[in-house]
Amino acid sequence: MKILAVIALIAIALLAFRAISFAGTQPKIGQPAPDFTLPDANSQAHKLTDYAGKWLVLYFYPKDDTPGCTKEACHFRDDLTQLEKLGAKVVGISVDDSGSHAKFAKKYNLPFPLLSDKDGKVADSYGALTNLGIIKIAKRYTFLIDPKGNVAKIYLSVDTSRHSQEIIDDLKKLTTK
């Protein structure tokens, strides 16, 4: 009987967690990407329109300087030349503040902007926010945005060790159509 009660309690907790952590609706492939204006590590504002005419790899990540986020960012850093040859820019977004981004970027020599979405509104507009009440965390989602500002591909299941190569492969396919 105790086992059934524990299982029921766990099930209720999981359902409550899902309800609390509900994020906004994700944009659909072919739709315009949600607009944003966010500060980078140097408090310089970046807007979606700044990247018009180029492919944009817009990746959301949970936390600066954690193992998975570091691995993902360093792979983007190491593959940046290939991505840029394909006409793409890389931008990372988390709910960490600009100071945290500055330390993270300096520590790992990250040459692309990391944007601070302190209130989580941009992550929410992309359906990439886990909201636990007082704690908000960006989900590890990536959106490949085409030069016209439309969502071309959405990555909801990211393997940090090969994600940048996956995007390179997809960009090669998308740019040769």
Model pTM score? 0.86
Give, as one character, the DSSP assignment of residue 23.
-
How many domains does the structure of the chain reveal?
1
CA distance 93 to 57: 11
Residue 10 is part of a domain; what is its CATH number?
A: 3.40.30.10
The CA–CA distances, whole Å, from 72 to 49, 60, 160 equal 25, 11, 5
CA distance between the termini of the chain: 60
Judge contact between 117 and 95, C-beta under 8 A. Answer: yes
pLDDT tens by residue, 68-104: 898 999 999 999 999 999 999 999 999 999 999 999 9
Write out the catalytic residue numbers.
69
Q: Phi/psi at 80 (nearest 5 deg)?
A: -60, -40
Write out the residue range of the structural domain in which residue 75 sits.
Answer: 2-175
pLDDT tens by residue, 44-72: 999 999 999 999 999 999 999 998 898 99
